[in-house]
Structure 1
């Protein structure tokens, strides 16, 4: 009898357990085998995104219990950043093709920019993040003079740091679920 009750209770317990969110906050790691960008973390700095380097953030001194601000995290869906700053920080592709984010307290986006679509696609074992505007199918990383890789929409006509889009590497943007408190007050 005990076996029967246990066997009946297990499916009920499994359905009562909360499912992971279908669209959680996430970080991004680049995947491009046998390349210098493979497994590099995506970082926000200077209102742009980079593979390599570090995340740049800010928290006013009057804010109590500032978040660490050392991780770049997208809000669910990937159209904005996961921040505490009032008004948030929106993600967009600038007119040159660079993946960018708005300054805190401002919704100002340069004329000719693309609002997306940005797509978060849940998967197992990895979820993915894509840019599908302007005919792009994802992202590319382009080398810079300071040994970082700037992130752009995968666009043949992007205006890239060294001037040659053929030096850029397309990559899979693996979206890794972020669990924890809001990671930054604002990104800078």
Structure 2
């Protein structure tokens, strides 16, 4: 089940390995729901949540959510449709799985999962999104280069992530770093480490909005 308090004793030990490690004085924001971690090792196919690590910034410990075929930090409501009616459809984080082939999915136990893609072309500038069912990806979209390192930090073909403020409902839009510091006309974007945190049990199995 999910708890209201993330075990930062577990997370902090893993976060120390990150180049964006939290400072000793940083306090974590309170969340309505957060993934409860177990061990730090995440095997292929295991569900996990993602926390942003960017010390002394508004996005430090922000949770990664999904909605409208895009990815966000601190999205107040994803409005996802979840399998288990006892779970809130307003959960403010998304659940992911990573295949052995480097394909990243939004976790769904009872249906074909939605799949992440990246567009690093001049048009996409690092666009990170997901498709549903037979929906095609952009012409320059890529799927199969996601990986987790020894610290469980997620990357795409070796590249990290950016978050840009002033997106929907006050959230931050998430992009892959394609060498553009402020993609798609955004400003004040911040790089961050995307720390995967394995969910102990009963992960949210959901379909996210298109």
Report the TM-score when normalising by structure 1.
Answer: 0.71
Q: Is contact 1:73–1:82 with CA below 8 Å preserved after alignment?
A: yes
* Aligned counterpart, 1:58: 81
- Confirm or deny that 1:26 pairs with 2:48: yes
Distance in 2, matches of 1:177 and 1:122, equals 14
Q: Which structure has the bigger radius of gyration?
A: 1
Q: 2:172 aligns with which of 128, 149, 174?
A: 149
The 8 Å contact of residues 66 and 184 in structure 1, kept in 2 or not, is answered as no
CA shift, 1:21, in A, is: 5.2
After TM superposition, the structure 1 = structure 2 runs for residues 140-179 of structure 1, keeping only pairs within 5 Å, are: 140-145=162-167, 146-157=169-180, 160=183, 163-164=185-186, 167-179=188-200
Question: Where has structure 1 moved over 6 Å in runs of 4 or more?
Answer: none
Deviation at 1:68, TM superposition (A): 3.8
1:140 deviation in Å? 0.7
**1:66/1:185 contact within 8 Å kept:** no
Residues 102-129 of structure 1, C-alpha deviations (whole Å, 9 max, x = no match) = 12x3342121112141112243xxx211
User: Is contact 2:47–2:203 with CA below 8 Å preserved after alignment?
Assistant: no
> Are the aligned partners of 1:90 and 1:107 in contact in 2 as well (CA < 8 Å)?
no
Residue pairs, 1:99-138, within 5 angstroms: 99-103=128-132, 105-123=133-151, 127-132=152-157, 137-138=159-160
Shift of 1:72: 0.5
Q: Secondary structure at the match of 2:147?
A: strand
* Equivalent residue number for residue 83 of structure 1: 108
Q: How many residues align?
A: 158
**Runs (5+) with no aligned partner, structure 2:** 1-40
Aligned to 1:44: 66
- Judging changes above 3 Å, is the alpha-carbon distance between structure 1 residues 185 and 42 closer, same or farther for their aligned structure 2 residues? closer
Q: Secondary structure at the match of 1:87?
A: coil
RMSD over aligned Cα, in angstroms?
2.7
